[in-house]
Structure 1
Amino acid sequence: MMDEETLALFRSEAEGLIESLEARLLTLQTRPTDRELIDGVFRDLHTLKGSGAMFGRTDIAGFLHDFESAFEAVRSGSFAVDDELIMISLAARDHVAALLAADGGAGSGEEAILQRLAAHLKGGPVADGADAGEWMLRFYLPPDTLTLGGRPDLALQELRDLGATRTRALINEIPPFDELDPLNLHLGWEVALPGSVSEDDIRAVFLFHEQGLRLEMEKAEAPEDAATVDAVPVADHKPEEGARSPRSGQALMRVPAERLDDMMDRVGELVIAEARLIEIAGRSGDPALVAVAEDIQRLASAMRDTTMSIRMTPIGTIAGRFRRLAHDLSDRLGRPIAFTISGEETELDKTVVERLTEPLMHIVRNAADHGLEPAQERCAMGKPACGTIHLSARYSGAEVLISLSDDGRGINRDAVRARAIERGLLPEGAEPDDATLFDLIFAPGFSTTDEVSDLSGRGVGMDVVRRTIEDLRGTIEVQSEPGHGATITLRLPLTLAIIDGLLVETAKERFVIPLAAVDEIVELPEALAAEGAGNAFLDIRDSLVPFLRLRRILDSPGQAGAYQKVVVVTSSEGRVGIVVDRIIGSHQTVIKQLSPLHAGVKAFSGATILGDGTVSLILDVAQLVQRGRTMSDNGRQAA
């Protein structure tokens, strides 16, 4: 009987294969003839089946047998991929995931899935040229191919593009080692191609290798797949979409997330201790102690960077769930929906990525149910029949912007306003701006529809979205244009753990500005040093940059000094200057969450402990700029 650690390893690898299988199936639906995707699906099924049998999960292995056979028929060209096969295969994927989660037992619906597959294989689409037999090629490229700069791998790739189903290397002509000429090509290849491929297309592959080429072609029924002692499989050189490379050249190790969290906590404490050591060493003036402190600082910085890189996760790791959700919503709502993504390589802290899944799924559901019109209505409006939901992610200073947009009908401004007045969220006759009005859709229980479905209408979901994003120290913005869809943008911090910060001082209080948001630092001109003197703009290299006084925003006591500095930061509003009294220097900042009592103070994203043991607040640049703009607007209205 296998121990629990071995079974946990199997479950972990099986979950990865299930995720890869789902991603490939969803992509295959849009590219049903893609040979690499078909081969990838078959490999995932074959590996999952084999692993299940090896680890005693005969329920999984037995269930997947028919699906493996089905995709073997697709690989051989005797059966075509269509929407029904994809739907059945996705149902099988869900069933395997359920079996894995239940840790045994046949579960419900297995027989129905297998019967549906058998019926489809009997009456489903036969691939074009399925009865045309099969080409079997055996070829040896000229011996001087490598010397002349030839690329055998490109010829093999062209054959794969023609639909090669089996490829193996022939090593029977490799001479003994003492007679081997490393400049000559001694390998040959045997390749099976669908019979529907023309002879001219095959010969075109070898157009530049005719001198010295040995090529044998025969057309026959597809032979049974057999291995021989002189045959070596040729590996694909191009990774499939939605799959991780099986050989990355690096050893991988699976580590529980709790251990990474514990490591991050310890590194954070190390950074705080290192800051204290630097402070003590600087005061002592002992050269030996200063040298040791600098070594500790260098090592702690490297450990921090390494640990942070481990915690960072691409947003693309959760994108597959939304593609599947959009696929299922399309089927349930009876309207075509395409899900697209850009910037999936954008990385965030793993804690942020994990907690983003549920909010983003709520937004996708609302976009599909409320935003996208039925196909007939879209066509009547001159839109494509298929609606699109697009997820994009990009960096913006110390933030990551994640936007979900659709090309549907947009948010009904009048309906939102009417429901808000009805619920007492707005007074009668109120005409708020779009930002204020659209913010009401995040109120608990708010919904503009009177019909309750299993997807929406109960008024829950969007309030959960805002609560989750605010817990992550993020913000939400909504934009919509009638008839042209809506966009919901989430602004999130890059990490919740450790950042590089710029330590500044205002009114004898020290604050940290995230260094990733800082563009440059300039001197405040003497003419603008006094409060209220001149326009609140700086001319920096012929570009006007607005600036805000941190002392005024925080209502700090006392008078500013004569030599104030302006920290120019990048925010959602563009480049903005923040006036401070003094620049102290860079600082490795371990982010500590504010207490529930202070969590509502939007100008700060957290706090950190300095080397002398005092606490410094971390400025939330986006909220600070927004607060400054609001104060300026209120001042102008009062004037």
Structure 2
Amino acid sequence: MTSPTPAEVFRAEAAELLDRLEATLLDLGERPGERTLVDTAFRALHTIKGSGAMFGFDRVAAFTHDFETAFDLLRQGRVRTSRDLVDVALAAKDYIRSLIDDPDGTAPVIGEAILAQLGHLLGTRADGAPPAPSPAAADPTAPPPQGWRLRLAFDPGLLRNGTNPLALLDDLRDLGPCTVTARLDALPDLDALDPEVLLIGWDVDLRAGAGRETVEDVFLFVRDDMTLALEPLDAAREESASASRAGRADEVVRPGTAPDGPPEAASGPRRGPRRDGEASASLRVEAGRLDELMDRVGELVIAQARLSQLAGLHADPGLAAVAEEIERLSARLRDTTMGIRMVPIASLFGRFRRLVHDLSRELGKPVEFVAEGEDTELDKTMIERLADPLVHLIRNAVDHGIEEPARRAEAGKAATGRIALVAEHAGAQVTVSVRDDGAGLDAARIRAKAEEKGLIAPGAALSEAQVHGLLFAPGFSTAATLSALSGRGVGMDVVKKTIEGLRGTIDLTSEPGAGTCVTLRLPLTLAIIEGLLIRVGAARYVVPLSAVEECVALPEEDGRGRDFLNLRGALVPFVRLRALLEAEGAPEAHQKVIVVAAGGTRIGLVADQILGTHQTVIKSLSKLHADVTTFSGATILGDGTAALILDVGQLVAAGGPAGSYREVA
């Protein structure tokens, strides 16, 4: 694989910064005036501006500079945060992204209009000058008469990030005369010294008339990795003199600052520098390399299965021992590789805050967006393919689910609607739910629309779940008028197809007047799964083990193509795979039933033999088999032959209640 170009590196880093900026601006809209949020947004803009100029994105650097200059008025406390200001800042963020993605195709007039809006909101007076700072904001920024005393303590891992603290001290010297004293008491003995661990702190007396913000700006990009105590120099001298008069020989310790080193040293003496295992670090890796690594691990798993099968055919203890060791190592490598591919779903959930924010403003419906379970991990490929279905579901929830403020008031509800996006682990699956507190589904209206379109016969007997399932029919829509958000009947059927393509299922529940919940049930990964290997006729198939509930023996047959089982009082229909898959030869005398579940429905799959569990490396079917719904993929067995993976969701849908049933003890 070729190394990424500098422009690609910048685009990747800028994408993360812009995502962080968007989240910060949305937080700022909810918590106006919070200084840490303003500082975080300013740092992101400053980094994008500098990196853009470095990598030749001059238009990005120029626009971001103007954006940063306008935003600095907010940072200085000269203007207050408003909803309109957040909206314009989000538009500016979008414009920066478009400049990065397509520098030549983005019209400059858009940026000029955004900056004009910013200038209007951040405010110019009639004479064009910026607003004067309020008295409350003037005092903190006024420079002290004699300068500042600084106490610096950096995170021990700062050097590994490429930051040179001596350069920061040089920046302080540029502000005025400095007296710098190093604190060396936290240094260990020479044999325990790690040159990559920073255990030196500094005390600095800066004799300059610079304001507090000017001094803090020196450490703008390392504030999250340091503790900074800053006070006027004359007050610091007075405090030091008072401590001396009281007979104190030790230094005055500021809150959150250790006397002898980095912040964590305050809790007790250090026994030495922090080792590699204690420091967290990350490495940017191309997604294609992870996919290639997963392919190689899959091939290793297949080769290991073949080795284990060969070892079982030969009575050689040495070969068996090697096969067991290879199996153990390949299993650990598989788990590690899959763990690398797992990413928190927060990377997906973060985008929907902006979606709800924009839809709320467009439709005039106040909506609160809540995300839960953001630390739930899912395969990166799953997250990429899950984005579009969730966009459809959230748009439907805001457009169709949440009522107008007047209707909510009539129903005794809060004026602000609520949409919750919740992720959680459920065994070998992850469930992602979209819940709203709107009006719920109108079953009578759905039925009437389905009859009008000829989807169901008039007066057909349907359960509530079956009526709700009509929403997933292609071209189905209950919208009375066509709009930019709804009315064309596309969306829910796309959601269903995408989720089924991910080997997942959809559950939909609704309570009139209380809201609707759509739950997506998804496998953890699409690469390697645990499967149950079965035989039907001469062929072998794999059933995903996460869908298997139990296995029982098939009672006496009565010649029908589909029967029921009585499993502890519950009727479960079963499907004979021999008939479905057109297997040749006579069936086994003692067949087995594998009970599987999907979407709250259970059916039994009748097979000739259960061969055991199998570590399944999933291979996609070719485009020629795109219309085959019975199988979700294929795998290679230990003897080199292929086995098809049964699509449990499709089989459950096909296994309707018909026929008789047999008792199972």
Give the TM-score normalised by structure 1: 0.74
CA contact (8 A) 1:503 1:583 kept: yes
Query: Whole-Å Cα distance in 1 between the matches of residues 188 and 627 of structure 2?
Result: 76
- Judging changes above 3 Å, is the alpha-carbon distance between structure 1 residues 293 and 481 closer, same or farther for their aligned structure 2 residues? same
Could you tell me which of 469, 484, 494 is aligned with 1:439? 469
Cα 1:77–1:87, aligned 2, differ >3 Å: closer, same or farther? same
Which residues of structure 1 form unaligned runs of 5+?
A: 142-169, 194-198, 218-231, 238-246, 539-543
Quote how far apart the aligned CAs of 1:535 are: 7.8
Q: Distance in 2 between matches of 1:472 and 1:264?
A: 18
Aligned-partner residue type, residue 454 of structure 2: G
Match of 2:74 in 1: 74
Residues in 1 aligned to 2:626 and 2:9: alpha-carbon distance in whole angstroms: 40
CA deviation after TM superposition for structure 1 residue 596, in Å: 6.8
Which stretch of the first structure deviates more once superposed, 98-107 or 9-18? Answer: 98-107
| Partner residue in 2 for 1:108 | 109
1:396–1:570 contact (8 Å) kept in structure 2: no
Alignment of 1:573-592 (within 5 A): 573=600, 584-592=611-619
| Deviation digits for residues 213-240 of structure 1 (CA, Å, limit 9, x no counterpart) | 98899xxxxxxxxxxxxxx9999x9xxx
**Aligned match for 2:643, one of 594, 613, 616:** 616
Q: Alpha-carbon deviation of 1:291?
A: 3.7
Q: Is residue 398 from structure 1 mapped to residue 435 from structure 2 by the alignment?
A: no
- How far off is 1:5 after superposition? 0.9
Deviates more, 1:89-98 or 1:31-40: 31-40
Partners in 1 of 2:427 and 2:648 — Cα distance? Answer: 10
Q: What CA distance in whole angstroms lies between the structure 2 residues aligned with 1:482 and 1:548?
A: 32
Q: Please show how residues 268-417 of structure 1 align to structure 2 within 5 Å.
A: 268-417=298-447
Shift of 1:617: 4.0
**Alignment map for 1:473-552 (pairs within 5 Å):** 473-504=503-534, 510-516=540-546, 536-537=566-567
User: In structure 2, the residue corresponding to 1:476 is in which secondary structure?
Assistant: strand
Q: Is the 8 A contact 1:28 1:38 kept in 2?
A: yes
2-structure distance, mates of 1:262, 1:173: 52
- Match for residue 137 of structure 2 among 130, 134, 137: 130
The offset of 1:552, in angstroms, is 7.9
- The one-letter amino acid paired with 1:606 is G
Percent same amino acid at aligned positions? 46
Shift of residue 359, structure 1, vs aligned partner: 1.6
Secondary structure of residue in 1 paired with 2:375: coil
- Tell me, in whole angstroms, the C-alpha distance in 2 between the residues paired with 1:16 and 1:233: 29
Inter-partner Cα distance in structure 2 for 1:175 and 1:423: 80
Segments of 5+ residues of structure 2 without an aligned counterpart are 125-130, 152-177, 190-198, 206-210, 214-230, 255-260, 267-277
CA distance in 2 between partners of 1:352 and 1:127 (Å): 51
CA offset digits 1:64-95 (Å, max 9, x no partner): 22332344343443332221221111010000
- For residues 138 and 571 of structure 2, the distance between their equivalents in structure 1, rounded to whole angstroms, comes to 72
Matched, 1:607 2:634: yes
> Does residue 284 of structure 2 align to residue 253 of structure 1?
yes
Once the two structures are TM-superposed, the CA of residue 567 in structure 1 deviates from its matched residue by: 7.3
The Cα of 1:438 is off from its aligned counterpart by 1.8
Flag the 1:636–1:189 CA change in 2: closer, same or farther, 3 A.
Answer: farther
Alpha-carbon RMSD across the aligned residues, in angstroms, is 4.6
Partner of 2:219: none
**TM-score, with length taken from structure 2:** 0.71
Residues 1:559 and 1:41: Cα distance change in structure 2 (over 3 Å) = same
- Residue 120 of structure 1 corresponds to 121
SS in 2 for 1:339: strand
Contact (CA 8 Å) 2:434, 2:519: kept in 1 or not? Answer: yes
Q: Distance in 2 between matches of 1:292 and 1:355?
A: 40
Alpha-carbon separation, structure 1, partners of 2:413 and 2:477: 26
2:18 is matched with which residue? 18
Secondary structure of the residue that 2:5 maps to in structure 1? helix
Going from structure 1 to structure 2, the CA distance change for 1:443 and 1:216 (only over 3 Å counts) comes to closer
Structure 1: distance between partners of 2:470 and 2:204: 66
Q: 1:53: Cα distance to partner?
A: 1.7
For the 8 Å contact 2:307–2:638, the answer to whether it is kept is yes
Q: Does 1:97 align with 2:97?
A: yes
Return the alpha-carbon distance in structure 1 between the equivalents of residues 518 and 77 of structure 2.
44
